[in-house]
Every structure is written in C-alpha cells, then in structure tokens.
C-alpha cells in the first residue's frame, strides 16, 4: 500500500482532493491488540436506523435538549464497515442537522479520501452526544452516559468492522475509559457488544488537528492502524 501512496503524492490526485501531505508516511503501524473497553448488552428492542434516529430527535432526557436547535443522530451508510464517533455537534452541525460539517468536516473528508473512503459509502458518522452543548463546551460524563444507549443501538444496527474514536470524549463513550489520547492511541482496543467484538482505534479529533497540524502524521498512522485491523 505504501507504493500506492507514493505514486499518488507524485501525481496530482491528493493535491486536487486537498489532502495534506502530512497524511502520507512510510511507516506501517503494527496491530497490537489490547483487551479493554466496555461489555454492552444488545438492546432489548431491535430497531432500524430510522427508528433510532427518530428516538434521538425526540429525546429530552438531559439538559442539552433545552439549548439545541435539533438533535444530530448521525449520517452515512447504515451498513458501514467504518463507524466514526466524535464528541458532540457544534454550532454548524446543530444548524445543519448533520455531523462533521464546516472546517472540521472538510478535514475529515480529506482524511477519508486518503483511504479511498467517502462519508456516505462504507462510513457512518456520529457523536458521543447527539445535541450541541451550549458555548461549545465539552459534554460531561453524565451527559455521555445518558446518550450512550443511542450509541449502543447504532453500533448494534450498523455492526461496523472498526470504530474510530475521534477525541477523548469519543474514547470514553466507546471504551468507557477516562484517559488521555496519548495513552489510548497507537494500539487496537476492543469493544464487546453482545456477541460482537469490535476493534477500536483512538485518534485525534479533526478540530484538534486544525489547531495542531503537526499531529496529523500521528492521525494518519492511526487511520492505517484501523484499516489494518479490518484486514486482520
């Protein structure tokens, strides 16, 4: 795969897509299984994606519902191999009703394009909480715990082959661990849900990468690690 990436960087394809050269590195990470995460029972009531979305949009079980314009369940392929989980909808997402729009969404699209992926083909995007926290604050663990039932149902419905947790809040929602990104990234972890054991890779949120572009090469390694976990 490395030779393909070199060929692309010598041509114009990545430049046309706006993919940062920081994504392209020679090192191929090693899959290092780490037994961690949460064991979550499958929901008692099996719902399709539309039913879960409807439940999220009408949800008022925490204070975030008072400040939102609309809940943002997620978007993408309902049978995706890749499930990407972020922190929470921002102002743009709250207005549009879609996850990962604006600059962070553009960067995420470039990250996916570097793997020959698109957000609506083999990919599903969602967040740890589905409503915009006022003043763009970080959601509390209580808010994430209350919203985690919806994430459980989405995982159960989609049954992804890998989960990419974007940022510390997403890592907590997916793995149940409060820890730094530095301590969680660089290894394949697992979430056990019912009878399903799903590889999880933790990496930086695109919003963080916009502030700290020097970390993009680490994020690219994490993406390669996630793809390798699927192949394994």
Residue-wise pLDDT for 187-226, tens only, equals 999 999 888 899 999 999 999 999 999 999 999 999 999 9
Lowest mean per-residue pLDDT among 45-54, 87-96, 145-154, 222-231? 45-54
Q: Please state the rounded mean pLDDT for residues 86-100.
A: 96
Tokens of 186: 């660089």
Q: 102-105 — which CB contacts under 8 Å span 24+ positions?
A: 103/210, 104/205, 104/206, 104/207, 104/210, 105/206
Report the residue count for the chain.
232
Q: Is the pLDDT of residue 29 over 60?
A: no
Cα–Cα distance, 188 to 170 (Å, whole number)? 15
Instruction: Enumerate the β-bridge partners of residue 85.
Output: 126, 165
Q: What is the pTM of this model?
A: 0.82
pLDDT digits (tens, 9 = 90+) for 149-198: 999 999 999 999 999 999 999 999 999 999 999 999 999 999 998 888 99
Instruction: Enumerate the β-bridge partners of residue 198.
Output: 191
Sign of CA dihedral 229, 171, 86, 40: positive
User: Contact, 126 vs 47, CB < 8 A?
Assistant: no
Q: What's CA 67's distance to the chain center, in Å?
A: 24
Cα–Cα distance, 8 to 24 (Å, whole number)? 10
User: Contact, 137 vs 176, CB < 8 A?
Assistant: no
User: Contact, 169 vs 88, CB < 8 A?
Assistant: yes
């Amino acid at each position: 795969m490395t030779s393909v990436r070199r060929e692309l960087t010598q041509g114009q394809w990545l430049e046309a897509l706006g993919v940062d050269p920081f994504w392209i590195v020679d090192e191929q990470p090693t899959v290092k299984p780490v037994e961690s995460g949460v064991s979550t029972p499958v929901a008692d009531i099996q719902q399709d994606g539309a039913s879960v979305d409807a439940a999220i949009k009408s949800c008022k079980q925490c204070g975030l519902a008072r400040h939102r314009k609309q809940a943002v369940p997620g978007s993408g392929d309902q049978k995706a191999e890749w499930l990407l989980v972020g922190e929470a909808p921002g102002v743009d997402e709250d207005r549009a009703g879609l996850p990962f729009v604006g600059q962070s969404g553009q960067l995420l699209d470039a990250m996916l394009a570097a793997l020959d992926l698109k957000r609506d083909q083999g990919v599903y995007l969602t967040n740890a909480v589905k409503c915009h926290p006022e003043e763009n604050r970080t959601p509390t663990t209580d808010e994430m715990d209350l919203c985690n039932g919806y994430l459980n149902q989405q995982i159960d419905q989609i049954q992804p082959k890998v989960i990419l947790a974007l940022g510390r809040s997403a890592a907590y929602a997916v793995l149940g661990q409060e820890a730094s990104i530095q301590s969680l990234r660089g290894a394949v972890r697992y979430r056990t849900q019912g009878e399903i054991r799903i590889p999880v890779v933790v990496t930086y949120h695109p919003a963080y990468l916009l502030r700290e572009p020097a970390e993009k090469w680490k994020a690219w390694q994490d993406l390669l690690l996630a793809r390798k976990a699927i192949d394994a």
